[in-house]
Chains A and B, each alone.
Chain A
């Protein structure tokens, strides 16, 4: 089953039941404190590298969040 999430203003269809980190892992992600590209590292909520803004709340760990219909996600790229 596919559901829709909004990623940086664009609606995307993604499989339900997967984590937000699984959606984002292959895409350009956030920038580090000094501006380097970063993406998911530990996959288990420890390293905080997969952080994104979800429904207006920054610093959410994508690997801890299942995708949800209507979820609004912003990467700070």
Chain B
């Protein structure tokens, strides 16, 4: 793992990866909720128009059609923004996809507050909580565009439903181009002994920056990229608790229904340690994405502060 001086949005992985998978012969069909240019799904449609179905902003129907395509044997991808899917089609995801465990892959872009200027209606901070409440879904939040592309490939090749959450802004690329995403495995992006920052999505690069600051303060922080929320890598989480004795979770999502809750629930039963939580606790507002990150407590400085507080409670 090295920090590459490039920046890209995780959503940019969708179209090119779908094209690549189709060119490899995978039986992919894509349904789109009138946001294919933003999600980049449209690139697939330009190349394979017979396999790309525009449905307009009608998310309930989009998911039902994806379920039917999957029942007929297709690897069905559905893409739109994370506020609309799951928010606008939760019941369809529950009855038509989760309960029959169909092979539908959701790619939800514009997750979190970094969607920015459109404001709170467009900022998905509840989507992962909703998805965690649906059984059978694999849930993945890639940390950069490289991991996003690899996760899409794994999703296409793994039977069953997936939710992959991507983002709008260009964020640091932290992985080399040949990095391979492993489903259900937290990736150790920085070793350390004094505490573990378990981060997901855009917060992984924030956590790495925080770890640099902590190192200067004499605190040796481990950083785990927990991109797979389900199945949860309980082995890595438990080892982090036992070996470093303190945990801070960091996510671009509501803390009480998000990663912090997932990790705390698991550790409470097996290895309770002092924990801190970096994430959303309220609706945000319109603004530039990097300004929002600062104002709503998702900056490296917020992680540093939480880490120091948790360290003080160790033992």
Same assembly? no
